[in-house]
Amino acid sequence: MSDKPRPRPAQSLGFALLIVFIALNLRPFLAAPGPILPAIAGDTGLGHGALSLLTLLPMLVMGLGAFAVPHLHRRLGARRGVLLGLAVLCLGSALRSFAGHAHVLILTAVLCGAGVAVVQSIVPGLIKERFAENVAGMTGLYSAMIMTGGALGAQSVPLVVERGLLWTTALALLAVPVFVVGLVAAKMLPQGRRAPHKPGLVAGLVRHPRAWALMAVFGLINGGYASMIAWLAPYYQAQGWSGPDSGLLIAVMAVCQGFGSVVMPLLARKNVDRRRWLWTCIVVQGAGFAGLAAAPLLFPILWVALCGMGLAGSFALCLIVALDHLPDPVSAGTLAALMQGGGFILAATPPFLLADIEARSGSFTGGWLMHLVWLGLAALIVAKFDPKNYGVVMASGKG
């Protein structure tokens, strides 16, 4: 904000590190169950349709919750909002100690999703405010750490389960780093300045066609991430891979996501028109899904790497594009939160659709091909995002 003193370099570095550690904790709860689904199914009796709820429900809650977060942000301020979100995420993760019962497991998924909804809806606005001169780079780093956190969960949980730890305990241990980062955030986040009240901001943006276009692109693209973390490991386990080996594929995907999250925003940073890079990410992701469908055992690491790079680059660029639309950090952050809200609701559906496709056909192949259609639709909508028109579009209410 213009009336605030510029943060010192050490303060900026400390705040950047805090964002990194927060981001690392936003996806392990979601990615970790995939490689150990056989153990979960064996103990809970859940089938593929019910197991898909472990991804569908958190993402649905992350979407619905994002619509409430701007109001919560205004009432509580960024600091208390982030701390509340981390506390709910920590609680949901810890309760997985008792997740041997199916209904408890699903409840924990909902709690974790609610906590993440609050945190990830506030953080982009903080980035816009604290790193106004390097929004693309910091958003890329934030996105990369989200994906890296998913990799750590997907790789570490099956390894400790293989060594004899109960899967419920392994999942519950993910609460420990959330608790630690919550303590650090309580020390580092600035005290209680609430977001300025802008009457009608949320309602106006929800009615704006451009907000819905952003939601559609975000959801169509990130549906691929939901499908991958839910069913990539079971897809390869059905072809004879072990739990740790299939978990390694998710880790490879996440490492490549980290690469894509950083590189794509850096490539796009000197050109305010991000469309060519979004289209590049869509093509890369599409090549990965085509490979998974046509030749899954030929070059599995390549297909997963392509999906990871395309998914992560798209995620980061979508956040940047949303923030680009409005100059004010509060308004831009609200638009980014709403984009994630509607987008995550849409992105929550593919894991359920893939489970249905697998039940009908005996294979996930049709589900991977489904994502090619979704990506084609996203590419068409991206054509609208010409930055020369952002001011006119946002002022006129036409998308």
pLDDT score for 188: 87
**Is 1 part of a structural domain of the chain?**
no
pLDDT band for position 3 (cuts 50, 70, 90)? very low
For 376-391, how does the pLDDT look when each residue is reduced to its tens digit (9 = 90+)?
999 999 999 999 988 8
DSSP 54-118: HHHHHHHHHHHHHHHHHHHHHHHHHHHHHHHHHHHHHHHHHGGGGTTSHHHHHHHHHHHHHHHHH
d(CA 287, CA 367): 14
**Is 286 part of a structural domain of the chain?**
yes
With a pLDDT cut of 70, the percent of the chain lying above it is 94
**Is 2 part of a structural domain of the chain?**
no
**Is 3 part of a structural domain of the chain?**
no
Instruction: Calculate the average pLDDT of the chain.
Output: 85
**Is 84 part of a structural domain of the chain?**
yes
**Listed range (68-72, 84-88, 160-164, 330-334) with the worst mean pLDDT:** 68-72
For 207-231, what is the mean pLDDT? 90
Using the 8-state DSSP alphabet, how is residue 197 labeled?
A: P
CB 202 within 8 A of CB 71: yes
pLDDT score for 372: 96
User: What's 127's domain CATH number?
Assistant: 1.20.1250.20
d(CA 160, CA 167): 8
For 165-202, how does the pLDDT look when each residue is reduced to its tens digit (9 = 90+)?
899 999 999 999 999 999 999 988 877 555 555 657 77
d(CA 128, CA 320): 9
**Is 137 part of a structural domain of the chain?**
yes
Q: Which pTM does this prediction carry?
A: 0.74
DSSP 241-285: --HHHHHHHHHHHHHHHHHHHHHHHHHHTT-S--HHHHHHHHHHH
Most confident of 39-48, 61-70, 148-157, 210-219: 210-219
Residue with token string 């959330």: 178
Residue of 49, 170, 180, 164 lying closest to 106 (CA atoms): 49
- Domain hosting 46: range is 9-396
CA angle 25, 31, 35 (to 5 degrees): 140
Domain count, the chain: 1
pLDDT score for 286: 95
